[in-house]
């Protein structure tokens, strides 16, 4: 059965479909144009290096027939098949450096394409996915033959969805880009970005060009004043060389943005400090034994921190998604994974507030736990933070874990554990939380939903291997 991919309907010239395990793209472009695109040096080199999703041109007329019989009944001319992604993630789940690397990739490909006579017609973070720590361009429908005199159509979109969120991130803790991109699938307008810049920043020539002038254009548009059109730019002598200089300027600006160091309290924290080396090894062995015996396709490591346990289970799994709520923590993990080709995808996700459905009809961008369906969940040194810091009863935690329909490796620190004591001290009424964080209550909640396959005491912490009850 061939179905529409829910996030691929806005481009009238291109549409992605899911057919079983296959990912197909229908295009209105002619066969000759698509073959010309696939034969370009930048595309061939990009696929070889892994910067562009592996894609083949399909010749089976059945594929075209199935796509043309889809709900829209659009007369597609050509069908491509893309490599299937292990997991789909969204820009508001990426750390700051991940968004920077995605932006750099899009600019690099845009310049290479322009050098061969092709232009990018949209440049959005949703055109990029991460396979492990490697950013990959996935939208081959975003390239079209460049017409002399044509402006770079995707310029404003690049600024609103890459540049401006990143600029705002340099003025705070580094996570502002995620707030912006989760709040609006279209990014942030130039006028809003310009308003948030300091006076000293507004004097920088690069920001005047890429933010100030665009903000002024926004205001003219709001007043109903005529703004420059693409035909005006063509008449003024717009060329591929001018566009390349524009892209080069953006690359330099991104380089300056990248100098900012992203840190937080948790970025220098490691749960290893709470263990002796012997105890830590025992915990590691417990986790590895479960992974080696279950051989999961997908592992979800919740509260991954420095990624030690993600890396421990990676050899036994097809893919690992390592999540943490702290942007700087994931930034550090991403930096450690870059270039390693490991099967670990680091994401910034707060499981108390994961991404819900977004966009048109709340289906354009899918909820996190609809995109990530694990076979094994690592839930290590997390439960005390949820019960005490986030005020979530253990029964609801057990319900949530059961909803994932996966094996779970859980670590439960005793109430006497130093970190638990610290969290309780921070509460105005700690006795209320001691009652919630009661070992017997937690055990009852888990046993109502899971079979306990194995348990092991390691210092003041209990390790459990849980399997869902049928």
Instruction: Please state the pTM of the whole predicted model.
Output: 0.92
Strand partners, 143: 120
Q: What is d(CA 233, CA 246) in angstroms, rounded to the nearest whole number?
A: 14
Q: What is d(CA 189, CA 172) in angstroms, rounded to the nearest whole number?
A: 18
pLDDT digits (tens, 9 = 90+) for 85-127: 999 999 999 999 999 999 999 999 999 999 999 999 999 999 9
Tell how far CA 71 is from the center of its chain. Answer: 29
What rounded mean pLDDT belongs to the chain?
Answer: 91
DSSP per residue, 316-380: GSSEEEEEES-HHHHHHHHHHHTTS--SEEEEE--TTS----BSGGGTSB--HHHH---SEEEE-
pLDDT at 233 over 70: no
For residues 388-411, give the mean pLDDT. Answer: 98
Q: What is d(CA 285, CA 252) in angstroms, rounded to the nearest whole number?
A: 46
Q: What is d(CA 141, CA 34) in angstroms, rounded to the nearest whole number?
A: 9
For 168-190, give one letter per residue: b (16+ CB within 10 A) or e: bbbeeebbbbbebbbebbebbbb
Strands (E) across 48-127 are located at: 55-58, 78-82, 118-120
pLDDT digits (tens, 9 = 90+) for 343-380: 999 999 999 999 999 999 999 999 999 999 999 999 99
Q: Phi/psi zone of residue 2: left (φ > 0), alpha (ψ -120 to 50 degrees), beta? A: beta
Percentage of residues in the chain having pLDDT higher than 70:
92
- Measured in degrees and rounded to the nearest 5, phi and psi for residue 119 equal -115, 150
pLDDT at 264 over 80: no
pLDDT digits (tens, 9 = 90+) for 187-220: 999 999 999 998 998 999 999 999 999 999 888 7
Q: Which residues touch 297 (CB under 8 Å, ≥6 apart)?
A: 317, 318, 319, 375
Question: So what's the pLDDT on residue 256?
Answer: 87
User: Under DSSP, is residue 14 helix (H, G, I), strand (E, B) or coil?
Assistant: strand
pLDDT at 229 over 60: no
Closest C-alpha among 16, 14, 13, 12 to residue 4: 16
Burial class (CB in 10 A: 0-12, 13-18, 19+), 224: exposed
Supply 69's token pair.
């019989």
């Amino acid at each position: 059965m061939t179905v529409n991919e829910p996030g691929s309907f806005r481009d009238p010239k291109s549409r992605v479909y899911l057919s079983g395990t296959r990912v197909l793209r229908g295009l209105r472009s002619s066969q000759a144009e698509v073959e010309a695109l696939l034969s370009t040096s930048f595309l061939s080199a990009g696929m070889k290096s892994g910067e562009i999703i592996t894609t083949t041109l399909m010749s089976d007329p059945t594929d075209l027939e199935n796509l043309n019989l889809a709900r829209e009944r659009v007369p597609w001319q050509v069908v491509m098949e893309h490599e299937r992604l292990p997991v789909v993630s969204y820009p508001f789940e990426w750390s700051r450096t991940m968004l920077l690397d995605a932006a750099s990739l899009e600019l690099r490909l845009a310049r290479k394409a322009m050098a061969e006579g092709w232009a990018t017609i949209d440049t959005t973070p949703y055109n990029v996915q991460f396979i492990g720590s490697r950013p990959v361009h996935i939208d081959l429908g975003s390239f079209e033959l460049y017409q002399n005199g044509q402006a770079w159509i995707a310029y404003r979109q690049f600024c609103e969805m890459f540049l401006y969120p990143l600029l705002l991130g340099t003025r705070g803790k580094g996570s502002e880009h995620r707030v912006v991109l989760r709040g609006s699938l279209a990014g942030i307008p130039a006028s809003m970005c310009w308003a948030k810049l300091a006076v000293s920043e507004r004097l920088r020539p690069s920001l005047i060009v890429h933010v100030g002038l665009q903000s002024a254009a926004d205001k003219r548009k709001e007043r109903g004043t005529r703004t420059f059109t693409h035909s005006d730019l063509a008449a003024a002598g717009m060329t591929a060389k001018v566009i390349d200089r524009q892209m080069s300027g953006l690359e330099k600006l991104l380089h300056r943005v990248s100098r900012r160091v992203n840190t937080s309290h948790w970025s220098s924290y490691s749960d290893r400090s709470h263990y002796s080396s012997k105890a830590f090894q025992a915990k590691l062995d417990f986790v590895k034994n479960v992974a080696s015996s279950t051989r999961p396709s997908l592992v979800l490591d919740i509260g991954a921190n420095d990624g030690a346990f993600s890396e421990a289970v990676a050899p036994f799994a097809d893919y690992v998604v390592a999540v943490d709520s702290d942007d700087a923590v994931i930034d550090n993990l991403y930096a450690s994974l870059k270039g390693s080709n490991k099967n670990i995808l680091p994401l910034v996700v707060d499981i108390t507030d994961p991404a819900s459905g977004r966009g048109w009809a709340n289906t354009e961008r899918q909820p996190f736990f609809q995109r990530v369906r694990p076979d094994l969940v690592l839930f290590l040194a997390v439960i005390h933070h949820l019960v005490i810091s986030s005020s979530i009863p253990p029964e609801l935690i057990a319900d949530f874990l059961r909803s994932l329909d996966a094996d779970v490796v859980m670590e439960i620190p005793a109430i006497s554990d130093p970190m638990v004591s610290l969290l309780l001290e921070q509460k105005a009424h700690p006795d209320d939380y001691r009652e919630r964080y009661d070992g017997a209550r937690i055990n009852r909640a888990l046993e109502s939903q899971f079979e306990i396959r194995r348990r092991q005491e390691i210092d003041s912490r209990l390790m459990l291997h849980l399997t869902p009850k049928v």
